[in-house]
Amino acid sequence: MIYPLQVVPLKSIIGGATEINDSLSRRCSKFYSQLISMVQSASADTTSKSSPCVFSGIQPTGVPHIGNYLGAIQHWVSLQNQYDDVILSIVDLHSITVPQKPDVLRSNIQILAACLIASGIDPNKSILFQQSDEKSAKIKKASVGLLIYPVLQAADILLYRSDLVPVGEDQLKHIELARDLARFFNNQFGEAFPVPEGYIGNTPKIRNLKDPTSKMSKSDDSSMGYITILDSDDEILQKIKKAKTDFTSQVTYDVKERPGVSNLVEIHAAFTGKTYGEICDEVSDLDTGKYKLHLADIVIDKLRPIRDRANDLLQDKHQLEVILKNGKDRASVRAERTLKDVKRLVGFS
């Protein structure tokens, strides 16, 4: 660590210009200028050192549900406020590992971008961009994407020289592939890539409202099993009211014996930051029916401003396109720099 130095003019130390001859004065002045330059250079080297690069991606498969919001998006916003170098990619190339209609995919990209920004992702702080720049819209069928998905993910991570990669537990094995590839290349050709670290937030998996033994997912047959960021107040209320619980009226937290009620308590905790014990004590005078109404009010209050902001953004598609274009341009500069260095190390240039 280089600490800033307080430079005292040599004239004041020696006793003033009248006490030294012109030659010494010139030499002192030159030395003083060089010293200032050295200090400024050292300070610039210290402050210009880049912070860890945080990279993550999310597939545009529809409106994010609260599991996506609490388990991923909220963490990205926190990391954005913690680090100066955050890159978020809407990974539409990954999403075509299953068949996608181009118009639906294009709409999903815009919806996701709006929801991310409305949730707190700031395009001025983070680089937010679309992975393919809509090239994927020309693809009519999935090809080998599903087979090479881990390689696609590893390539994205390494391309932007990522240090920290927020992922779910089920994605950690893909991070290991990226780590292995980074180490292999660095050992074979020279240092080009940081060895990325996976980052897992402390939010528990939010489970299906109708089947609390399974994870919340938009692929569920019934939309009553999940709450999306764009759900109306009444939709949120109805989904929580009809969430599966049990016949015990008291609100307690016991995942094994009472998975339904415990899922609601976990949602409550994730939205408020309170512990499970604090919540159970706070609502000890409520039965599960009244607790559902209480929780619905909390979720509605949290999601309403996000929904309103996202809907406003979706009314101005041009603004979203400009944001994603600017993000793409910034990401491209990073990618081209990496490719140039890789080609040089390999011997291609």
Q: How many CB atoms lie within 10 A of CB 347?
A: 7
Annotated catalytic residue 241: no
Q: How many CB atoms lie within 10 A of CB 132?
A: 21
Annotated catalytic residue 135: yes
Choosing from 135, 173, 317, 340, which is the catalytic residue?
A: 135
Is residue 153 within 8 A of residue 162, CB to CB? The reply is: no
Cβ-in-10-Å burial (0-12, 13-18, 19+) of 70 comes to: buried
Is residue 313 within 8 A of residue 110, CB to CB? The reply is: no
Enumerate residues 6+ apart whose C-beta is below 8 A from 116.
58, 73, 76, 88, 128
Q: What is the DSSP string of 212-233?
A: TTSB--TTSS-GGG--BTT--H
Task: Specify the DSSP class assigned to residue 88.
Answer: E
Annotated catalytic residue 218: yes
Task: Specify the DSSP class assigned to residue 20.
Answer: S
Enumerate residues 6+ apart whose C-beta is below 8 A from 297.
none
Is residue 166 within 8 A of residue 152, CB to CB? The reply is: no
Q: What is the DSSP string of 29-78?
A: HHHHHHHHHHHHHHHHHHHTSPPPEEEEEE--SSS-BHHHIIIIIHHHHH
Dig out the tokens for 181 from the structure. 């590839």
Choosing from 11, 205, 215, 274, which is the catalytic residue?
A: 215
CA distance linking residue 75 with residue 204, whole number of Å: 12
Choosing from 205, 218, 274, 302, which is the catalytic residue?
A: 218
Dig out the tokens for 193 from the structure. 């890539």
**172-189 and 317-346 are packed helices; what angle lies between their axes, rounded to 10 degrees?**
40
Task: Give the residue numbers annotated as catalytic, written as ranges.
Answer: 135, 215, 218
